Amino acid sequence: NAGVTQTPKFQVLKTGQSMTLQCAQDMNHNSMYWYRQDPGMGLRLIYYSASEGTTDKGEVPNGYNVSRLNKREFSLRLESAAPSQTSVYFCASNRASNTGELFFGEGSRLTVL
Amino acid sequence: RKEVEQDPGPFNVPEGATVAFNCTYSNSASQSFFWYRQDCRKEPKLLMSVYSSGNEDGRFTAQLNRASQYISLLIRDSKLSDSATYLCAVNGGGTSYGKLTFGQGTILTVHP
């Protein structure tokens, strides 16, 4: 059972480059999330999708875009990467947005030089 | 003020000790509460939900105080394997409905 799969696991970018983080879940969950985690800051919500076809901003959406491609997939795009976006990114999903058990992917470590 | 705040620690305790973490939240309309555990360089995983009446799972006890807007986690008889970061999470109400907000995490190290 794969759960939540994120790709890539590691990426180094130069300032101004673009990239897309991919996330897929095989649990038939309705809701999906993107968080970033920085030292001393905990997990901060970037965007979430309560259901297929909807997306909403979280706490720190600036500099990011998302696409809920279908029920399984939720991608995060950095159009013009900045050093401040160096972080560990986690994708997560749950059955419904009013339940608290999020299932996380293993994380994607992004460094922007 | 942050929506969810935790004492980041670190907490260094000997095996067998009892340790408690608190987490405060600012949104009085928050509806549900959780504790997650995160091992070094791994993803967070749900440890336990926090119910109004309090709940216990083996050595772990979670409590909610709505009046003072905090949740707590008590770990009894600490084991080396309990060393991790503990994150509280709050599912907000109102405009924050459906958004799970995390505290910054409390680092626990249990030593022999």
The 3-state secondary structure of A46-88 reads: EEEECCCCCCEECCCCCCEEEEECCCCEEEEEECCCCHHHCEE
* Smallest Cα distance from A56 to chain B, Å: 10
The verdict on A2 touching B (C-beta cutoff 8 Å) is: no
Instruction: State residue B96's pLDDT score.
Output: 59
Q: CA A57 → CA A20, A50, A54, distances in Å?
A: 17, 11, 11
Q: Does B104 touch chain A (CB under 8 A)?
A: yes
CB contact under 8 A, A41 and B91: no
Question: CB distance A90–B34 less than 8 Å?
Answer: no
Distance from C-alpha of B23 to C-alpha of B4, rounded to nearest angstrom: 7
Residue B91 and residue A100: Cβ atoms within 8 Å? yes
Residue-level pLDDT at B7: 85
Question: In whole angstroms, what is the distance from residue A110 CA to residue A64 CA?
Answer: 14
With contact defined as beta carbons under 8 Å apart, do A106 and A8 qualify? Answer: no
Within 10 angstroms of residue B26's Cβ, the number of other Cβ atoms is 14
pLDDT reported for residue A91 = 97
- Is B103 within 8 Å of A42 when comparing Cβ atoms? yes
Answer whether residue A95 shows pLDDT above 90.
no
The pLDDT score that the predictor gives to residue B99 is: 79
- The per-residue pLDDT for A41 is 80
Taking an 8 Å cut-off on Cβ atoms, the answer to whether B43 and A102 are in contact is no
DSSP string spanning B18-37?
-EEEEEEES-TT--EEEEEE
Cβ atoms of residues A66 and A74 within 8 Å = yes
Question: In angstroms, rounded to a whole number, what is the distance separating the alpha carbons of residues B99 and B58?
Answer: 29
From chain A, the residues in CB contact with B33 under 8 A are: 100
- B14-30 average pLDDT score: 93
Q: Among B55, B87, B102, B107, pick the best mutation site for testing chain A contact (most A Cβ within 10 A).
A: B102
- CB of A68 closer than 8 Å to CB of A22: no
B99: nearest CB among A45, A90, A106? A45
What's the mean pLDDT in A86-95?
94
Q: Check residue B30 and give its pLDDT.
A: 86
